[in-house]
Structure formats: structure tokens, C-alpha cells
Amino acid sequence: MPMLLWHTRGSMAVDTKPVQVRMGNQGRIVIPSELRQALGLVSGEKLIARAEDGRLILETKESMTAGIRKLFRDAVPRGISLADELIAERRAEVRREEEAP
């Protein structure tokens, strides 16, 4: 089965033709070998499953983590430490409580 490779923001993605799968007893689905090979999945690998817009999404923990990082990549400007800001806020709160009558 031919694979199409495409590039997105510094990461290489693999796209394959759609493959029909059948859900068996107890909701089991077999991932076809061409998809497993294209995604580098090995026997026993754990996948994260979720429903999104009427679709079943299966992805590795690494893929999910990368997606979350990409989503929040620009949320905090470079050079800003949220941990340091939180500590400073807590210290200021303690000072205000100590100064209150």
C-alpha cells in the first residue's frame, strides 16, 4: 500500500489510504499491519483512546503529549517561568495576610 509523506511545522507525518476495519466481539478492533508499520506501532504498545467529533482517535502517549505541547507552545512567552510567578504570588499573599490586623 503506498504511503504519502507530508511535512508539518518541523515534523514528518505519514498518511495512508483509508482501510476498513470491523469491530468484533467485546468491541475489539485489529489495526491492519500497513497502519501499524506506517505508525511504528509494535505488539503490546499502549495507545490512548478518545472520542472527538464523532471519531475514534487512537494515539501514543508521545503523540498526545506532542499535540498538547504544540497547542500551548505560544501560551507563555519565552523567558517566563510560571513556577517563579506562582511562588512570587504566594509570597505576596503571605505578606498581605501577615500585615492584616
Q: Are residues 20 and 64 in the same domain?
A: no
Q: How many domains does the chain have?
A: 2
Q: Are residues 32 and 81 in the same domain?
A: no
Mean pLDDT of 65-91: 89
pLDDT at 10: 41
Could you list the residue range(s) of the whole structural domain that residue 38 is in?
1-42
Mean pLDDT of 87-98: 95
pLDDT tens digits for range 4-24 = 444 344 444 567 888 899 999
- 66: number of CA atoms within 13 Å, CB side? 11
Q: Are residues 21 and 53 in the same domain?
A: no
Q: Are residues 56 and 95 in the same domain?
A: yes
Nearest to 14 by CA among 1, 28, 27: 1
Contacts of 9 (CB under 8 A, 6+ apart): 70
Please give the residue that has the higher pLDDT: either 77 or 84.
84
Q: Are residues 6 and 26 in the same domain?
A: yes
Contact call for residues 13 and 5 (beta carbons, < 8 A): yes
Mean pLDDT of 42-59: 92
Q: Are residues 55 and 70 in the same domain?
A: yes
pLDDT tens digits for range 58-73 = 999 998 899 888 888 8
pLDDT at 76: 81
pLDDT at 14: 64
Residue 41 has pLDDT above 70, yes or no: yes
Q: Are residues 63 and 25 in the same domain?
A: no
Q: Are residues 30 and 60 in the same domain?
A: no
Q: Are residues 36 and 67 in the same domain?
A: no
